[in-house]
Amino acid sequence: MHKIISFYINLVNGSLNEKTVKKEPANLYDPIDYTLSLGGKRIRPALLMLANNLFDGDDKMALNSALAIEVFHNFTLLHDDIMDEAPLRRGEPSVYKKWNTNVAILSGDVMLMQSIQLLSKKNHPNLHRVLSIFNATAIQVCEGQQYDMDFENSTTVSIDDYLKMIELKTAVLLAASLKIGAVISNASSDNAHHIYEFGKNLGIAFQLMDDILDLYGNSKKVGKRIGGDVIVNKKTYLLLKAQELATGKSKKDLEFCLSSSVLDDDTKVEKVKTIFNSLNIKKLAVEEMNLFYNTAISHLDSIDANESKKRVFEQFAKGLMNREN
């Protein structure tokens, strides 16, 4: 991680941890403090600060918006954990488990409002533009979550549907963070567009890498068991691509693996991997991922700004995609 990104991560963490007056009612505000204290990489706010810096913006002008993005992101986690029935968040009980669903709903609502409050704390000439980007993005993130839930019960999800879903659910928030930083620093529309597209395409590439690593990664490096997505029939890029391409025996075999209740987990992962390999799924997924990654880099190249500052973004992108070497 480049030292300027670490600097911004520390700045964001410092601001989030600033002790404020104990707020009442406690059942509303304690879950918010708890959620923000669980940590997280703070990548989005750091990139917002970095984008603002790229166009020679003042850190002070951007910090509240950076915090807004982080609070918003944590709001989505709080409500997503209820919807996904996820008992843990960063290794600790999620809010709806530690308190209850009502507390998680209402505390989440307040976090969403706090993010708008942070975003519009200071009046500045670009406030209206920043709000437009943020509002549109926030709604897209909810659309992505709804598509993701809809897909669980759907048998007709296409690759295009899937790419649209991951774009909405995860990539646009990364993209908007960068664009808001750019807009606060008064960047041109062209530059704001290119940094948005850089973030969006990088976010999609990252999600595809995540899908690939589930089955083809090194379990030690990935930090979770190999084939976790396969075991629960998760509709990843790999599975959807295989369903698109499989015919004859491989189609039958795949259907058997997805519906069988007799296969143990290891055998299922092994069998599905064999089918994927016969269909060249890994290669196709890597090609798709590279397409998005290269599109991201070409948008970065198109930005009219200091070249050495731009290289920090490229270095970050490489690091994110494990492409250091």
Q: Is the dihedral of CA 53, 54, 56, 62 positive or negative?
A: negative
Q: Is 149 in the site for its own copies (CB under 8 A)?
A: yes
Identity of residue 172? V
Query: Helices (DSSP H) in 18-58: which residue ranges?
Result: 26-37, 43-54
Among 101, 274, 306, 322, binds its own copies (CB under 8 A): 101
Quote the tokens at residue 53. 């810096």
Q: What residues are paired with 88 via a beta bridge? A: 93
Q: Cβ 194 to its own copies, closest distance in Å?
A: 24
Q: Is 123 in the site for its own copies (CB under 8 A)?
A: yes
Q: Is 146 in the site for its own copies (CB under 8 A)?
A: yes
Q: Are 294 and 202 in contact (CB under 8 A)?
A: no
Q: Is 143 in the site for its own copies (CB under 8 A)?
A: yes
Helix (H, G, I), strand (E, B) or coil at 200: helix
**Among 75-83, 200-208, 238-246, 301-309, the segment contacting its own copies (CB under 8 A):** 75-83
Among 11, 46, 54, 138, binds its own copies (CB under 8 A): 138
DSSP summary character for residue 167? I
Q: Is 131 in the site for its own copies (CB under 8 A)?
A: yes
Q: Distance (Å, rounded) from C-alpha 182 to C-alpha 177?
A: 9
Q: Is 110 in the site for its own copies (CB under 8 A)?
A: yes
Q: Are 211 and 288 in contact (CB under 8 A)?
A: no
Among 6, 135, 280, 322, binds its own copies (CB under 8 A): 135
Closer by beta carbon to its own copies, 109 or else 210: 109
Helix (H, G, I), strand (E, B) or coil at 93: strand
Q: Cβ 55 to its own copies, closest distance in Å?
A: 21
Q: Is 139 in the site for its own copies (CB under 8 A)?
A: yes
Quote the tokens at residue 314. 């490229």
The residues binding its own copies (CB under 8 A) are 24-25, 27-28, 79, 82-83, 101-102, 105-106, 108-110, 112-114, 116-117, 120, 123, 127-128, 131-132, 135-136, 138-139, 142-143, 145-147, 149-150
